[in-house]
Amino acid sequence: MKKPTSYIKTLDRIKVSNLAGRLIRDIERIIPPDTALFHEAVIIAGAPEATQSMRYLPFNRQVHADGDVTTSLSLVVLLNNLRMERFFLSGFRERISRLVFKLSFNVMDRYIRAIRLDHRLLRIMATADGEFSIMGIVQRDEIQRKRFFTRRCRFLCPLLLIPVTDPISLDYIVEFERRQTIKKIKIPLIPLYRNGPPPAHEGIKRLPTQK
């Protein structure tokens, strides 16, 4: 696959819009997307500048309810694929970042650091068939009903929309999302959650590729 070499700002608005549309369609593996909502957020933000590795998106949020499961999704940042090879943290910066990663309570910062610490993922993005990728944050609230009690669980995980189609890269992206899943359990009688055990198999799953 040919690596893109032109900067997004030198491209016409239609191409930017088309790439955003391609990426947003992949949200279908999580929830039926509000395409207009997410597309507008990308267009308003604009692509990162040539010297920027990422650009934050304006507030956007879609909520989808399905029985005892409520899923919320926000797209939060555009990542400049042409700069991803420089985005990797190494040496002293890597050691500090890993320490901050363990202590961070900010989920968005935590996931951005996780991307920067994953060299293989950054290589996938750097060679992707498009100038930018999108990171979102998924929150899934579940009511788990047992015979004698009800438990409320919350799962947080990143969603990576990267313009790649090869199965090996797609599988790695989904595995990265699964590894970064955070599980929380609601404390009875008060509106707070405590950290739960690391989820073994939960997380967001990619639907089978349509042929």
Task: Return the domain boundaries, the chain.
Answer: 8-195
Give tens-digit pLDDT for 82-121. Answer: 999 888 776 555 556 555 555 566 899 999 989 998 999 9
DSSP states of 39-91: HHHHHHH-PPPTT-SEEEPPP--EEEEETTEEEEEEEEEEEEGGGGGG----H
Q: pTM above the 0.95 mark?
A: no
- Rounded to an integer, what distance in angstroms lies between the CA atom of residue 58 and that of residue 38? 10
- Rounded to an integer, what distance in angstroms lies between the CA atom of residue 161 and that of residue 159? 7
Q: Any residues with CB less than 8 A from the CB of 14 and at least 6 apart, and which? A: none
Q: Which of 39, 119, 52, 116 is nearest to 82 (CA)?
A: 52
Identify the band that residue 54 occupies on the pLDDT scale cut at 50, 70 and 90.
very high
